[in-house]
Amino acid sequence: MTVRITIGFQCEGYGQCCYEAEDLFQLGDKPPVRAPAEVDESRRADVERAADVCPMQAITVE
Amino acid sequence: MRRVVVVGGGLAGLRTAESLRSNGFAGPITVVGDEPHLPYNRPPLSKEALRNGIEVEALSFRRKASVEDVTWLLGTAAAACDLAARTVTLDDGRVLEFDGLVVASGIRPRCLPIPGPAGGRTMLRTVTDAEALRPRLSPGVHVVIMGAGFIGCETAATARALGAEVAVVALDEQPMIRPLGADLGAAMRRRHEHHGVHFHLGHTIESFAGDDRVHSATLSDGTELPADVVIEAVGSVPNVAWLDGNGLDLSDGVVVDSAMQVATDIAPVVAAGDIARHPNALFGPVPRRIEHWNMPTETGRRAGQTLAALLAGDEPDHGPFAAMPSFWSDQYDHSLQSFGMPGLATRVVLADGDLDGPCIVEYHDASGLVGVVGVDRTRETGSYRGQLMGRSDP
């Protein structure tokens, strides 16, 4: 099982996700935040926390 | 099966419900919300949604699968609560029974009693407010904004972008002076003035003139401002009246401990979000309400964990609550970001850059660094977060 991460066009690069899961979400320039497209199911809670704190609600977790 | 009632259909209510589920509570959850919408994101209401158009579906928070079975009672507010009887009475007369209660009823904008007509005066808290305001912000319209906090300043920037003539009236010496301090506040004022906003600081509005609608505002120094639209952004009032009569301290929101538990032995009650006056181990034992966007998520997680434990007959985790307050604000093409509690500072230091350009400002008190604000410096501002989190170390 894997968790799929999508960062939508709404992302403004506030970087709040990076503080919840620093090894997965990284601030860049274009796009403003980078994350792997898929991570192991064991990281679901971290990814969901990162999605929760996004001010733009730009992160989709499936 | 034990039942939970959540009073408040905003972000705090949603996050607490999700946390109840992730902490093992499987019983029925009913969320009462006074607005007709499922929980949605408010910050865009003064910024991109006000500028580009408001679609409540686009603003709605994604809800985790775990809360699909929650009952949402929307468009109705809690009118009363009897903790001993474990009931909440709604304003439509319905009575809900609970075993555990979540107080997440939030805040409403303060409305100052000012003589004159009420027509043309508006708040900006809800989708409904923003939908009513948006068509009135057109080129040449005279907008008077009461209050120079974040909502006042963001709305000023948006109204200018839509071509309106904007005046801001506030008692404070500088815009956003409490979170930013006088020097950065003054620099933000200069940015606004560069975009054509007129400030009337150190003044209040004494009265409005007009027949059924406001057409002008008279300030405390006698200045008369044309006013087709008046936007009131002068702080907030916690929605606590429904809790009256239960012996709770409701002097400024609802006081909770580090577990977000309300101090009463009558029933299991937790609070979350803007209404929860909570201690934060990062900033000492004084309980405070913090109206930053990230706090409903932080307090809601803890409140759900606590209530799930109480309803399972377990002792909740009363260990320290240490969450980093954080705010951001977009005004014109400038992005402010902050960590910590700059408002506690006794000493403010420009750490890098120029107050009128990209910069980093540090906020210190006797204990050391208490906050940071960056303007157009997101990554560098974020690098302070770890240092501020270190404040919780013994």
pLDDT in tens, chain B (394 residues): 899 999 999 999 999 999 999 999 999 999 999 999 999 999 999 999 999 988 899 999 999 999 999 999 999 999 999 999 999 999 999 999 999 999 999 999 999 999 999 999 999 999 999 999 999 999 999 999 999 999 999 999 999 999 999 999 999 999 999 999 999 999 999 999 999 999 999 999 999 999 999 999 999 999 999 999 999 999 999 999 999 999 999 999 999 999 999 999 999 999 999 999 999 999 989 999 999 999 999 999 999 999 999 999 999 999 999 999 999 999 999 999 999 999 999 999 999 999 999 999 999 999 999 999 999 998 899 999 999 998 865 4
Pick left, alpha or beta for residue A41 (phi over 0 → left; psi -120 to 50 → alpha; otherwise beta): alpha
Q: Does A55 touch chain B (CB under 8 A)?
A: yes
Quick one: how far is CA B126 from the chain centroid? Answer: 12
Q: Which of B297, B379, B385 sits opposite A52 (nearest CB)?
A: B297
Residue A24, token pair as written in the block: 């997965």
Residue B177, token pair as written in the block: 């002076």
B327 DSSP β-pair partners: B338
The answer to whether the CB atoms of B15 and A52 lie below 8 A apart is yes
Q: Does A34 touch chain B (CB under 8 A)?
A: no
State the pLDDT at residue B130: 96
Chain A residue numbers with beta carbons less than 8 Å from the beta carbon of B294 are 16, 53
Residue B327, token pair as written in the block: 């705010």
- Mean pLDDT across the stretch A9-15? 89
Chain A residue numbers with beta carbons less than 8 Å from the beta carbon of B41 are 55, 57
Contact B390, B281 (CB under 8 A): no
Q: Which of B41, B328, B385 sits opposite A14 (nearest CB)?
A: B328
Running DSSP on this structure, what letter comes out for residue B50? H
Residue B246, token pair as written in the block: 């239960």
Contact B108, B202 (CB under 8 A): no
State the pLDDT at residue A10: 87
B257 DSSP β-pair partners: none
Contact B177, B201 (CB under 8 A): no
Residue A40, token pair as written in the block: 């192991």
The answer to whether the CB atoms of B15 and A16 lie below 8 A apart is no
Q: Report which of B377, B291, B350, B364 is spatially closest to residue B326, judged by C-alpha positions.
A: B291
Amino acid identity of residue B165, one-letter, is: E
The answer to whether the CB atoms of B382 and A27 lie below 8 A apart is yes
Angle (CA) B359-B362-B366 rounded to 5° is: 170
Residues comprising chain B, all counted: 394
State the pLDDT at residue A60: 93
The Cα A33–Cα A12 span in angstroms is 8
Q: Report which of B31, B60, B28 is spatially closest to residue B44, judged by C-alpha positions.
A: B60
Chain A residue numbers with beta carbons less than 8 Å from the beta carbon of B379 are 15, 27
Q: Does A44 touch chain B (CB under 8 A)?
A: no
Contact B141, B164 (CB under 8 A): yes
To the nearest whole percent, how much of chain A has pLDDT over 70? 100
The Cα B87–Cα B253 span in angstroms is 20
Q: Report which of B316, B261, B288 is spatially closest to residue B101, judged by C-alpha positions.
A: B261
ipTM: 0.92
Chain A to chain B, count of Cβ pairs less than 8 Å apart?
32
State the pLDDT at residue B1: 86
The answer to whether the CB atoms of A12 and B61 lie below 8 A apart is no
The Cα B150–Cα B167 span in angstroms is 15
